[in-house]
Amino acid sequence: MKDLAVKKLETEFSKGAYDRYAAIMKQGVKDALIGFCKQDAEFAQAIYQGGSFEDCMKTVAKNCGTGISDLEAYRRAVRFYFPGADIKFHMTVNLCASVEEPEETAEKPGSMLLDLTEFL
């Protein structure tokens, strides 16, 4: 199902008609949705069976004013396909990145991020 959802997004991405706001956001939104499909088969199924990517982008761009954050754009896209769903975002700062080797800046193998609310 994941492969079908990704193929649907890729196909509809190039065929849609987008306003200027959606056109700016469409690549990032598509990439995020593909990543979410790879994380969750149920979400991939919702995309495969859901509306078009063009309609998704209309929803994302609606009432965006002069702009919205990437996080909000991804949230709107996820909710277009799976109402009530949300996304989590995690960022860290690495103050020594400019002096480290590129492979050192990648997340270290064996490190784990735990969300303690999952144990409640």
Kindly report, residue by residue over 32-52, the tens digit of the pLDDT: 999 999 999 999 999 999 999
Provide the pLDDT for residue 22. Answer: 92
The mean predicted confidence, pLDDT, of the chain is 87
Provide the pLDDT for residue 73. Answer: 95
Please tell me the pTM assigned to this model: 0.76
Provide the pLDDT for residue 107. Answer: 55
Provide the pLDDT for residue 105. Answer: 47
Best-predicted range by mean pLDDT among 17-21, 80-84, 92-96, 103-107? 80-84
Provide the pLDDT for residue 84. Answer: 94
Provide the pLDDT for residue 24. Answer: 92
Phi-psi region of 110 (alpha: psi -120 to 50; beta: other; left: phi over 0): left
Helix orientation angle between 20-39 and 70-81, rounded to the nearest 10 degrees = 70
Span 76-102, mean pLDDT?
89
Provide the pLDDT for residue 115. Answer: 62
